[in-house]
Structure 1
Amino acid sequence: MELEKRPDGRPQEPPRRSDPEGCVAAAVRVPVRIVALVLVVPVRMAWDVLVVAGRFLRDTVFRPAGRALAWLGRVLFVWPLAGIWRYAVVPVARGAALLGHVLLVVPAVWLYRRVLTPAGRGLYAALAWLGRYLVVVPAAWLYAWLLTPVGHTLAWCGRGLAWCLGMIVTGVGAVLTGVGAVLYWITRVLVVLPALVLWRWVLTPVGRVLAVIGREVLDALGHAWRIAGHVSRAFGRFLGTLWRWTVAEPARWAYRSGLTPVGHAVRDTVLRPLADAGRAAGRVTRQALAAARLTVRQTRADVRRALFGEPAKPPPVDRWEPSVAEARTLGSSTTALTKD
């Protein structure tokens, strides 16, 4: 008991709950999680099935189709437009810019520098003199002898009118202040205080309960979604294992144990002899065709000789080669070039 007391001699206070809505949360949490789990598991499994189907369609259909459409778009639109821009629009624009510079800019600059600038300088002096004596001097006289007295008179009248309006506004303001105070207290007593009581003693507790229920519902949905993910993953693995041991493995065993030996036997006993026989038949056929072509060629040559005789042999061509007697021999050091 001494250990449970505080150092200053006072007994230790019981720990306070950090969650003031503990009873409501405890009463709502378990049913809401059960209902959310029952409702969310089919949705999560359907979602996982859609995700798998979407990935399969993306990898097998959409991505190749997108690449094909992108290549087709480049071929039909991008490359022609780039060629038109590079080889038609840009040269035409450069030519038009050069032509505009030559026909418009250069003449305009010359006209401004050589004609308008000197003319403008002489006109400026004349216009300044005319403006001074036709505008500035009359305007100064009009301001000094007419507008200034009239302005002073209007300012005095305006000050008096403003004083009268200020007095009227002060009286009206006092009346409105009294009326506003009465309306304020009426509104405070009839509207604000009941609304404050309704907010503090009705809406705030109900809002807290609804907030607790909403938070528990959201937590339950998140918890159910995670559990449904585990369930869906386990069910998917079960289906994969079932597919493997009922379809894939038997098919693999049948292929390895049955179809492969049968295929090898068919290849060794049927297909390979047929291929050898086909190659032998091809060789015999090629030899027969070659012999037939040779026979036809010889027959044609015989017929030509029978009809037209032997072809004339070309005369020998003298290539200025040394004779046998004049050529160099092995037992002599004399050559055809050094012989007298």
Structure 2
Amino acid sequence: MDLQKPRVEERQPEGCLVVAIRLPVRIVVLVLVVPVRMVWDALVVAGRFLRDTVLRPVGRALLWVGRVLFVLPLVGVWRYVLVPAGRALGWLGRVLVVVPVVCLYRYVLTPVGHAVLWLARGVGAGLAWLYARVLTPAGHAVLWLVRYLAVVPALWVYEWILAPVGRAVVWTLRMLVTGVGMAAYWMGRVLLVLPALALWRWVLAPVARFLGVVAREVGDALGHAWRIAGHLSLAVGRFLATLFRWVFVEPVRWVYRTVLTPVGHVVRDVVLRPAAEAARAVGRVTRQALATARETVRQARADVRRMLFGEEREREAALRGEPRPLGTRTLDSSTTALTKLTKD
């Protein structure tokens, strides 16, 4: 484990030109960047407020509407229309296409294929005999004639005539191309490379270094200005927030605590609670009166029904044609021997 501290990259000493460029560039860039940074921060705050209060609820509503209007109907169509239709089409395809094709392959094409294969084997055997007994000897003879009448003379001509002539031509062309190439190389070096090198070394390189210094300083100035503008924007935002708090929020809070809250308590204790108690008492009395009236009406209806139709059991027995039941046995209606003697 390396316990040594990381080396800080040493910055090369800067010249007077860099220092002279840096200060005015940073001042100009700071003046230009501060309004941009403040506008940017304001737009960021407004965008976040708009996102939280408008875009997010609208997006959720649109998502719900899209789900109700598109997703659920599409799911229903897929589940209750397309899937059954696909299954039906698959069954029809199997019955109308697959089964006939399998039968055709099994009972028609397979026997025909076996027959064709047997014929092909016979033809192949005949062609093999023809190749082995006729074409092979003829081919060997033709090959021997081509070799000794064409190939051997052509090889001799290539080896003893064409190859030496070609080597001589290639050596001549190589020497010619080498000379032309060396001449072109020196002409290009003298006429193009050396002037371009001098132009780069004495003109373009210093200009590029100067532009690099200017670009680096502009970039550093932009970075410093952006950070300073951020601090300024934060300070301005905090000042505006504090001003809004002391101008609007704190007076409203003070009015709410010192005026509206006591007035609300007084209104609640003096007006609302007695009114609520009176309303609850009136409600209880009204409910009791309605319950008493309903009970009275129910009793009156029961008395009228009893006077008109009698008791429920007697009325049902009369409707069925059954004998009327005897009353409850008492001392007056007793039929014992003691009661009969007493009555006699």
The farther-off stretch of 25-34 and 255-264 is 255-264
Q: TM-score of the superposition, structure 1-length normalised?
A: 0.71
Find out whether 1:62 has 2:55 as its counterpart: yes
Letter in 1 for 2:309: A
Aligned-residue offset at 1:139: 7.7
Report the equivalent of 2:249: 248
Give the alignment partner of residue 42 of structure 2, picking from 45, 49, 60: 49
Within 5 Å, which residues of 2 pair with 1:253-332? 253-272=254-273, 310-314=307-311, 315=314
- Distance in 1 (alpha carbons) for counterparts of 2:248 and 2:226: 31
Letter in 2 for 1:250: P
Letter in 2 for 1:28: I
Report the equivalent of 1:187: 188
Q: Deviations over 1:103-137 (max 9, x none)?
A: 42633662588425533541331231244356785
| Cα distance change of structure 1 residues 184 and 224 upon mapping to structure 2, 3 Å threshold | same
User: Secondary structure of the equivalent of 2:310?
Assistant: coil
Letter in 1 for 2:201: R
Within 5 Å, which residues of 2 pair with 1:135-284? 138=135, 141-142=138-139, 145=142, 148-149=146-147, 152=151, 164=165, 167-272=168-273
* Greater share of helix: 2
Letter in 2 for 1:72: V
- Distance in 2 (alpha carbons) for counterparts of 1:285 and 1:99: 74
| Cα distance change of structure 1 residues 114 and 47 upon mapping to structure 2, 3 Å threshold | same
- Distance in 1 (alpha carbons) for counterparts of 2:204 and 2:141: 74
Letter in 2 for 1:311: L
Answer whether contact 1:45 1:228 (CA < 8 A) is retained. Answer: yes
Q: Deviations over 1:144-197 (max 9, x none)?
A: 516944762666667765764554344333223222221211111111001101
Within 5 Å, which residues of 2 pair with 1:27-46? 27-46=20-39
| Cα distance change of structure 1 residues 140 and 235 upon mapping to structure 2, 3 Å threshold | farther
| Cα distance change of structure 1 residues 63 and 246 upon mapping to structure 2, 3 Å threshold | same
The farther-off stretch of 155-164 and 117-126 is 155-164
Q: Structure 1: which 5+ runs fail to align?
A: 1-16, 326-340
Aligned-residue offset at 1:217: 1.0
The farther-off stretch of 158-167 and 76-85 is 158-167
Answer whether contact 1:28 1:213 (CA < 8 A) is retained. Answer: yes
| Cα distance change of structure 1 residues 207 and 135 upon mapping to structure 2, 3 Å threshold | farther
| Cα distance change of structure 1 residues 18 and 254 upon mapping to structure 2, 3 Å threshold | closer
Report the equivalent of 2:340: none
- Distance in 2 (alpha carbons) for counterparts of 1:158 and 1:70: 84
- Distance in 2 (alpha carbons) for counterparts of 1:144 and 1:257: 128
| Cα distance change of structure 1 residues 224 and 140 upon mapping to structure 2, 3 Å threshold | farther
Q: TM-score of the superposition, structure 2-length normalised?
A: 0.70
Find out whether 1:82 has 2:75 as its counterpart: yes
Q: Deviations over 1:193-234 (max 9, x none)?
A: 011011112211221121111111111111111111111111
Taking CA–CA contacts closer than 8 Å with sequence separation of 6 or more, which of the two structures ends up with the larger relative contact order? Answer: 2
Find out whether 1:124 has 2:120 as its counterpart: yes
Q: Tell me the number of residue pairs that the alignment of Structure 1 and Structure 2 aligns.
A: 306
Q: Structure 2: which 5+ runs fail to align?
A: 1-9, 318-322, 331-344
Letter in 1 for 2:219: L
Letter in 2 for 1:76: L
The farther-off stretch of 39-48 and 157-166 is 157-166
User: Secondary structure of the equivalent of 1:311?
Assistant: helix
Cα RMSD (Å): 4.3
